[in-house]
Amino acid sequence: MLIRAVTAKDFPALDSLIAAAFDSTAFGHQGEADLVRSLHNDGDALVSLVAEEDGRIIGHAMFSRMRVEADGQALRAAALAPVAVLPEYQSRGIGSALIGRGIAMLREQGTEISFVLGHADYYPRFGYRPEYAAPFACAYAGPHLMALWLDKAAQLPESGRADYAPAFSR
């Protein structure tokens, strides 16, 4: 399996991949492919990766720019969303590999914190924790909002604000 950055020629395959992956969930397809395109078009894609096997795109993970403030200080921040793997390739570690590579790339870019809205049984394996997101006012605040401090020396703030890129509210 090859993990590489998304290119413009990948978008038709990504549309199909994302629709298939999300149609296989209880939530169904909710416009995630449009979100990916919008984040790229708006310049808010920080890390967007695909997993490829035998020339076929089988997985995708994206981290996009966020506006985050902690105790009055701006932080370099990213949102993880969406993550998609073709149904027949799920449970093989592809999503984990994409997320792990993306987190490493965010660290290299100097990103300090990442947020995800997701399953409490899945994302903690990468270091995401609800208690790290708790001090931040966010449109998606709640038990499924988690954060990962990419800077190991960072201290949990008393309060803050976390705003996803504008494409998330369209």
Bridge-based pairing of strands 56-70 and 45-53 is: antiparallel
Give the pLDDT mean for 39-61: 96
Task: Write the CB contacts of 43 (distance below 8 Å, at least 6 apart in sequence).
Answer: none
- Written as one letter, the residue type at 51 is A
Give the pLDDT mean for 49-72: 97
Give the pLDDT mean for 141-151: 94
Q: What is the pTM of this model?
A: 0.93
26 pLDDT exceeds 80? no
DSSP output for 3-33: EEE--GGGHHHHHHHHHHHHHTSSS---SHH
Confidence of residue 24 (pLDDT cuts 50, 70, 90): low
